[in-house]
Amino acid sequence: MIQFLLNQRLHRESQLDPNTTVLSWLRRTQQRCGTKEGCASGDCGACTVVLAEPAGDRLRYRTVNACITLVSALDGKQLITVEDLKQRDQLHPVQQAMVDCHASQCGFCTPGFVMSLFALQKQGGQGSTEQALAGNLCRCTGYRPIVAAADQLAAQETADDQFDQTEAQTLARLKALAAEASVSGTSSSQPPAGVRQLTHDGRRCLMPGSLDALAAAYLAEPQARLVAGGTDLALAITQRSQRFPLLISLNQVPELRAVEQQPHQLAIGAAAPLTDCLPLLRERIPAFADLLTRFASQQIRNQGTLGGNLANGSPIGDAAPVLLALNAALELRRGSETRTLPLDDFFLGYRQTALQPGEFITRILIPGVTVSQKEAASMPLNVTTSLYVYKVSKRLEDDISAVCAAFNLDIQHGVVHRARLAYGGMAATPARAHHTEQALVGQPWQLATVELACRALAEDFTPISDFRAGSAYRLQVAQNLLRRAYFEHAAPQQIIKVTDYV
Ligand SMILES: Cc1cc2nc3c(=O)[nH]c(=O)nc-3n(C[C@H](O)[C@H](O)[C@H](O)COP(=O)(O)OP(=O)(O)OC[C@H]3O[C@@H](n4cnc5c(N)ncnc54)[C@H](O)[C@@H]3O)c2cc1C
Ligand code: FES
Ligand code: FES
């Protein structure tokens, strides 16, 4: 059973096909048709809704794409749709700002923009308008009036709305639901102890409430498909009409959502939403955080996870190159067994990984992250480890990489002591550039060395041509990115990133 609030109304659902998306549940069973379906693939933002969940003693409001969010993700949350914003005949300030600024023409994208601006407003000015709106597309109004509406809102002193007024009460209700779920889960014997279940017509979703319960459930039914954020998996449902007979949700397992600095490494829970990884990464590995802000859109980052990004084994997943360059390892669990596998050994072939049946990723471990940026900044300048991460795609945001590159260089006294270079989009899997690394290590860090390394890159990769980029283009770009790292290293103050000057 899942339990959630639709605005203020409690829903307890146990007989629901777990392949149902939040969008079709809203439109087909609740007749809430304000939330639109544009692409059904997470690209346009017309279906944006907001999920509120407890974060300490406040509620945290986040956007998601209802079209690729499965209903199991609603458990323990408050679902807010565009219908909930108006109070009696009074528009919500976000809606009023859109009207005032003439920010809607055909209106199809408008509910999605309104919900993204609503979530931005609820962050109390912490997020940026660009990031908040990057996952919403408008094909007729043009973005200027929409941005003007965002600016008007930011400048306004807004009084508490109905959500602020009922926040304490909503928070208490959600916390009570969580407490109830943990009790009902552990006392149940069918499904196994500690696992709740959503089922309909022979299709099931198991929802373990702990790591042990998850490990036992997956070992017992290794044919199940795991679902974390569902931002990859749900596309099989919406684009290829697939229906999964058995899903196991990772969303209710607290151990998989922790993001922590340990004495000598960062440990990132495999099912922590990317948005939750950002604060620590921004502090410890800023180049990784910069990459994540270009990862899909805000809606996707609020759902998608590093575990899902790696486990789907895509050659163009953005996290893999940077994690390979950082020499990350994966903590894997199968039944009661835990093992640690270097990410270097994880990708076996096109969309093939080293995961055994019934095995899953619990944490991503990034070694050697021991000092804060502030401390690192005070280290001697000629003893540096430099991380350069580049994503090349047609659009800045909400786009998949044609090529993604990450270079982790240890340059001491002008000589390359260690180089870990990794690329996505260049081969059947994300991969290290071993020949190129050899061409660099032990050599002086100068342009001539970099040119030799660029030649070695052609030995490492024979990229394919597809609709994103041609083979020759990919190779040229991959070489140019290495040259670019050289120039950035040589003149760190020089502004060469497009995001720094547009
Ligand atoms: C519009 C859009 C834009 C996107 N943009 C980008 C982008 O810019 N860069 C990018 O890299 N990706 C992008 N993606 C892909 C996707 O968002 C990411 O791959 C995301 O990280 C997947 O995480 P998830 O939690 O949603 O995975 P899910 O969809 O839940 O799972 C993906 C796969 O991994 C398996 N899995 C999940 N967690 C685990 C685990 N802990 N252990 C073992 N197996 C597991 C699942 O069974 C499934 O097979 C985009 C997707 C969409 C829809
Ligand atoms: S309908 Fe386009 S993102 Fe959901
Ligand atoms: S108003 Fe028509 S798509 Fe945006």
Nearest in space to 46 (alpha carbons), one of 26, 19, 18, 75: 26
- Nearest CA-CA partner of 465 in 403, 411, 415, 388: 403
What's the whole-number mean pLDDT along residues 467-474? 93
Distance between Cα 365 and ligand 2 center (Å): 33
pLDDT attached to residue 377 = 53
Which one-letter DSSP state was computed for residue 136? -
Q: How far is the CA of 141 from the centre of ligand 3 (A)?
A: 5
Top CATH class, 256-501: alpha beta
- 434-462: pLDDT as tens digits: 999 999 999 999 999 999 999 999 999 99
Would you say the CB of residue 366 lies under 6 angstroms from ligand 2? no
Please indicate whether residue 231, judged by its CB atom, sits closer than 6 Å to ligand 1: yes
Count CA within 13 A, CB hemisphere, residue 125.
8
What pLDDT score was predicted for residue 395? 87
Question: What sign does the CA torsion over 148, 154, 157, 158 have?
Answer: positive
SS3 68: helix
Distance 23 CA to ligand 3 centre (A): 19
| Mean pLDDT score, 139-151 | 94
79 phi and psi angles, rounded to 5 deg: -95, 125
CB of 93 within 6 A of ligand 1: the answer is: no
Nearest ligand 3 atom to the CA of 140 is 2
Residue 105 phi/psi, 5° resolution? -115, -85
The ligand minimizing its distance to the Cα of 231 is 1
CA 407 – ligand 3 centroid, Å:
41
Q: Average of pLDDT values for 410-417? A: 94
Distance between CA atoms of residues 386 and 485, nearest Å? 9
Instruction: Just give the CATH number of 2-165.
Output: 3.10.20.30
**Ligand 1 pocket mutation pick from 44, 312, 323 by most atoms within 8 angstroms of CB:** 312
Closest by CA position to 333, among listed 348, 315, 355, 366: 355
pLDDT at 370 over 70: no
pLDDT band at 158 (very low <50, low <70, confident <90, very high): confident
- Higher-scoring residue by pLDDT: 127, 136: 136
- Whether residue 353 has pLDDT greater than 70: yes
Residue 317 CA, closest ligand 1 atom number:
11
The residue assigned the tokens 């590995």 is: 285
Per-residue pLDDT at 493: 77
Which amino acid makes up residue 486?
Y
pLDDT bracket for residue 382 (50, 70, 90)? very low
The alpha carbon of 412 and the centre of ligand 2 are apart by a number of angstroms equal to 49
Q: Exposed (0-12), middle (13-18) or buried (19+): which is 439, by Cβ within 10 Å?
A: buried
Inform me whether the pLDDT recorded for 188 exceeds 50: no
Distance 362 CA to ligand 1 centre (A): 15
Size of the chain in residues: 502
Structure confidence at residue 141 (pLDDT): 87
Q: Ligand 1 within 6 A of 317 CB? A: yes
Instruction: Name residue 60's beta-bridge partners.
Output: 53
Does CATH place domain 171-254 in 3.30.43.10?
Answer: yes
How confident is the model over 72-121, as pLDDT tens digits? Answer: 999 999 999 999 999 999 999 999 999 999 999 999 999 999 999 999 99
Under DSSP, the state recorded for 225 is E
Q: Alpha helices of 353-446 — where are they, by DSSP H?
A: 373-377, 434-440
d(CA 498, CA 318): 19
Ligand 1 atom nearest to 232, measured from its CA: 29
- Using alpha carbons, select from 415, 399, 416 the residue that is nearest to residue 407: 416
Question: Atom 37 in ligand 1: which residue has the minimum CA distance?
Answer: 308
How confident is the model at residue 71, as a pLDDT? 98
Q: Is 277 in the pocket of ligand 1 (CB under 6 A)?
A: no
Q: What is the mean pLDDT of residues 218-229?
A: 98
Alpha helices in 123-265 (DSSP H): 129-133, 143-155, 162-165, 167-187, 211-220, 233-238
Tell how far the Cα of 436 is from the centroid of ligand 3, in angstroms.
Answer: 47
| Ligand 2 atom nearest to 68, measured from its CA | 4
CB–CB of 448/486 below 8 Å? no
For residue 500, the model assigns a pLDDT of 67
Does the Cβ of 359 fall within 6 Å of ligand 1? no
302 alpha carbon, closest ligand: 1
Tell me how far the alpha carbon of residue 239 lies from the centroid of ligand 1, in angstroms: 15
pLDDT band at 127 (very low <50, low <70, confident <90, very high): confident
Residue 233 in contact with ligand 1 by CB distance below 6 A: yes
From the list 309, 472, 461, 445, the residue with the least C-alpha distance to 388 is 445
- Using CB distances shorter than 6 Å, the residues near ligand 3 are 104-110, 138-141
Counting ligand 1 atoms within 8 A of each CB, the residue from 47, 231, 240 with the most, and so the one to mutate, is 231
Q: How far is the CA of 41 from the centre of ligand 2 (A)?
A: 6
The atom number, within ligand 1, closest to the CA of 231 reads 26
| 332 beta partners | 339, 361
CA of 108, nearest ligand number: 3
Within 10 A of 91 (CB to CB), how many other CB atoms are there? 15
In this prediction, what percent of the chain has a pLDDT beyond 90?
85
Mean per-residue pLDDT of the chain? 93
> Residue 114: nearest ligand to its CA?
3
> Which atom of ligand 1 is nearest the CA belonging to 332?
42
CA dist list (Å): 477 to 269, 314, 318, 474, 481: 33, 20, 16, 5, 6
Contact assessment for residue 67 and residue 228, using Cβ atoms and an 8 Å cutoff: no
Cα(152)–Cα(368) distance, integer angstroms: 45
Protein residue with least CA distance to atom 17, ligand 1: 231
Domain definitions of the chain by residue range: 2-165, 171-254, 256-501
